[in-house]
Amino acid sequence: MSTNPPDLPALSHIDPAGKASMVDVGGKETSRRAAVAEAWVRVSPHLASLIRQNALAKGDLLAVARLAGITAAKRTDELIPLCHSLPLDHADVRATLLPDHRIRILAVASTTARTGVEMEALTAASIAALTIIDMGKAADKAIVIEQIRLLHKRGGRSGDFTAPGVSPQDFSEVLP
């Protein structure tokens, strides 16, 4: 059963019968890999003020979002079906409140393994963004996650990737 048009590469998580399956990475070379993801969250001016003053009843929103993201990176294989368990060498999340009432989240993950850490970085950014909603919803019911995307990945058979329009200066501060 064909799952892709002939001019497109085969999907890696689909077996020849068209069923979802975990990719066998046993024959791949171990290499150093890293990925950086970003999320943007828009909050109200009122919530931004509370964050700046660290005046939320639940505590320091940016610090908790950071820790939630790091924890999520470490547990990605439990959250996403068919995702490999990876021994992370490093995971970090930075959350910065900007003057325009948006929070930029940068998440990085790295490993030495047979498969990449893109999903770990994306999961970290996603869960950090959701944590901002959870912690801020009492003060702002209209919080919006505007974007989550992979900025950069390096290593592995497919080589390096940087998202179109992204400069290395946009993420180099978080790469290990």
For the annotated catalytic residues, the residue numbers are 134
Q: How far apart are CA 167 and CA 173, in angstroms?
A: 12
Kindly state the tokens that stand for 11: 């999907």
Q: How far apart are CA 7 and CA 26, in angstroms?
A: 27
Q: How far apart are CA 1 and CA 5, in angstroms?
A: 11
Q: What are the φ and ψ backbone dihedral angles of 95, each rounded to 5 degrees?
A: -125, 125
